[in-house]
Structures are given as C-alpha cells and as structure tokens.
A and B are shown apart, each in its own frame.
Chain A
C-alpha cells in the first residue's frame, strides 16, 4: 500500500484522523502544513490543542478563521460589513455567516446554542425537540472536552439525525 498523501495538497501525509460518521469509518490524511492551517495541530510554540477546531471538524463546520468572504444570499450583506457596523441584515444571515458567527457568539455569550423558549405555534413539538438538541450539544461539548471521542462521535451522529429535517423555521 502506497503511503497516504495529504488530501488537500498531495504532499506526504503525516496527520491521520479516523472519524466515524453514521457508523461508517472515514479516514482523513493531511500533511503537517495543511493540518496546521486548519488549526488541528497545537501551535509549535508551546500551544494547546485547539478543541474548537477539532469540534468544528467533527461537526463538519469549516474552521473558524476564514469568514471574510461570506455573503448572505438573502439580503446581500457581507460578513465584513457586519463586522464594521455590528448589525446583521436579515434573519438568514445567521445561517449564511454561521462558521464565523459561532466563535463570535461563544465569545459574547460563552455559548453557541439557544436553551430557552421556542415559538409554540411554529411547528408541533418544536420546543421539546429544541431543548433535547441543546442537551445533546452540551453533552457533546463535555465529551470532547474530556477527550471521550467515541462517545462524542455517537452524540454527533444523533445530533445530525435530529437536526436533519428543519433547521430554520
């Protein structure tokens, strides 16, 4: 078997990730430079492992440090404009800017998921479903922080299943 190459640039891969998605094993191979660019490796100068980036990779969201080109298809607002004025343009911005907004929300609120009231009339059982999701996400966060990655993978799959049908109402 030939040595695996980096799936992003073709250089010999030295970072190997095994991920279980929907019970199917998925392997990722990266060279050190690409892994570092995606913040999967600790900084060479005494840094710590970036848990946020690992969670992002596990959850399938792109890494958090390249939001610049984001633009909302609904209202045309660019993410950079939002950063300048601090106000979003329309409700769809939250989905369009999500990769960049989540780290920002984490900074402002120390949280990225709603845990309160939900509209009662917006869909049957909406409220109950939401708090269950919030609970699962919290368990995922705890599992990742405690480095219990097998449990995290199961939780992640459950979250994906439940999120499936209707994200934005």
Chain B
C-alpha cells in the first residue's frame, strides 16, 4: 500500500455524513486485546514482539474481514509517514513515536477499520463511523473481534474479562469516543458547565488528537472511562444518552445565536472565509479555529457554496504531515505556515468562494 495514494482521499471519519452530522463528526470504538501466552508489550522482549506481530499479521490476513486489511510496519517507517497516520487517526502518537520494536497497523482502504499491533496492548482494534453511530460501530467491531479471535487465543479471565496492560481498560477493553463539534456552546460560554457535568458521570472529555491535546477548533472527544462491570451495549447506551443531551444543548445554543445575533455570526463566518482565502502565513490552531466558524456557517445556512466534506478536506490537508506531503518537501516553522496559507488560498480560489 502506498500511503501517498491516500493523500487526496478522506478517511471514513471525515466523510461528513451519517446521523447527527450537524454536530457529530465521527464515532470511534476501540477494543484492547492481548494474546494469552505472551507478556504485555512493555514487558515483552523484541523476539516476543516479533512473535506477536507475526501471529497478528497472519490472523488478520486470514480472518474473515471485509474489506481486507493491509498491514504496514511502523518501526521502519519515516517520521513524516508516521505523523501522517496519526493525523488520519489510524495510529496513536504512542505507536508512532514513544514505543519501540516491531509494531504496525492494518487498515482497510476506506480507513474504517484498523488494528494496531504492539501498542500498549498487543492488539488495539478500532472502528470508525461518520456521524453518531454507536450501535453500527459496535456491530462492526464485534464482528471484526470475533473474526480475529477465531484465529488467536486472547487473554481472558472469567472474573476480569479481557485482560489488558493497564487496569483502566480491563473487562470489555472497550473505549467508545464520539467526536463532537460544539462551537455554539463555546460562543455562549456553556461548554465548561457541560464538561463539569460529564466528569461527574465518569465520561472523559479530550481534544481531537488524544490524551493530552487540548480542544482545538471546538472539537471534543467524549468517551467512557469505565470498562469493567457493565456490558458493551450498556456502556454504549450510557454514552449515547449523554451525547443526545449535549446535542440538544448545542442545537438550542445555535438557535439562540441565529435569533439574537444572526448578522454578527454571518460577519464572523465571512471574515473566517476571508482570512483563510487571503492570509500569507497561518498556523494549525488558527486554521482550526477559522474552519470551525466556517463549519458552523454551513450548518446555520449562512454559507451555501461549501460542503462539509470540503471543510474536512481543508482541515486534514492543512495538518503538518499532509501539507508536507502535498508540497513534497520538509517544512518547518515559518515555511510551513506560509505553505499552509498558500494551500488554503489556492483551494478556496478553486472553489470560488471569495
């Protein structure tokens, strides 16, 4: 598989379709699984990691999964390619940079299913769906998990369930995350209140790119923290219920914006497009912020010549690794910000939105 062929395409999570896509970007579920007879990755010797990689690759290749998953090794990969996969949400930052030894990821051409090998756990299976689709994602990943399990013996304990390197994942090994776009709750300053309520009921809130990253572009990942003591459908139902409430608040806040300050919002969106289409230097954070305004503008029908998929394309291709692949050269600091601005200018000119 040539990674560069993926450059012009949008992964499943950025298609901009699916239920509730006015405020839900994507749904992701991951399952942590380990082989029964090998130490967890942090305590496995290089030879044991090779063994895990070999067995996992064979199982994934032969498993009844459609479409087929292709495996790429990450340890021999150039840093730019690793970052590219991180930006596309196919691998974690840890698999890209923090871990060592044999490791990699298998995924399908639509980028809806991926399996990381030798992350913190031997296998991290992941399914992505556009929009809010917890049940569909669960059905899908349940089937993929069964197909792999038919060929590998997982570490499973009658009382503790699927055994994982960290006890915070034990039991179901399941983390479900819903990526939300909540600009109106941000503008009306209600977002803090929502998050305080979430923490009380044991749901985690993070920015787009994982554990430490702060929310950028009004994008928030909501996920379950508890993995033990409740069944997968019950955990998913609990998250789904909370997401439903947050969506109601966000939509109410949007209606308030339209009613009370339509002209000001229209102005903000127009200026965002203006800046994106004319800046000569722009960093990732500012790009994310402006694209967030544009995204909201589309949903509020303040803009009608841009699609959500286009905004998603601008968003992903203006990320560092994508940008460097597009321009075909390594860029840092000022040069990267200039290249990003140039890319956005030419894209928006092509789309004729100025």
Contacts and interface: CB of A to CB of B under 8 A. Distances in A.
A119 to B, nearest CB: 5
B107 interface: no
Contacts, number: 125
A169 interface: yes
A169 to B, nearest CB: 6
A117 B167 contact: no
Contacts of B227: 109
A104 B231 CA distance: 20
Interface string B145-184: 1100110011111111111111110111010000000000
A116 B232 contact: yes
B226 interface: yes
Interface stretch (A10-18, A31-39, A41-49, A90-98): A90-98
A91 B166 contact: no
Nearest to B43: A89
A77 interface: yes
A130 interface: yes
A112 B228 contact: yes
Contacts of A68: none
Given A105-B170, A112-B229, A120 B160 contact: no
In this complex, the interface size class of chain A, counting residues with CB under 8 Å from chain B, is: 35 or more
Contacts of B160: 94, 105, 113-114
B120 A87 contact: yes
Contacts of B166: 86-88
A66 interface: no
A124 interface: no
Interface stretch (A1-9, A20-28, A50-58, A160-168): A160-168
B324 interface: no
A94 B156 contact: no
In this complex, the interface size class of chain B, counting residues with CB under 8 Å from chain A, is: 35 or more
Contacts of B164: 88
A133 B158 contact: yes
B39 interface: yes
B157 A77 contact: no
Contacts of A110: 226, 229
Contacts of A115: 171, 228-231, 234
B353 interface: no
Nearest to A82: B167
Nearest to B120: A87
A88 B226 contact: no
Given A87-B42, A89-B43, A121-B149, A113 B229 contact: yes
B156 A77 contact: no
Contacts of B286: none
A75 B157 CA distance: 17
A53 to B, nearest CB: 19
Interface in A112-151: 112-122, 129-130, 133
B232 A91 contact: no
Contacts of A167: 157-159
Interface of A: 75, 77, 85-91, 94-95, 101, 104-105, 108-122, 129-130, 133, 163, 166-169
Given A88-B166, A90-B40, 13 more contacts: A87-B166, A90-B43, A91-B40, A110-B226, A110-B229, A111-B229, A117-B161, A118-B156, A121-B150, A122-B149, A163-B158, A169-B156, A169-B157
7 contacts: A87-B166, A88-B164, A89-B39, A95-B157, A101-B167, A113-B159, A121-B150
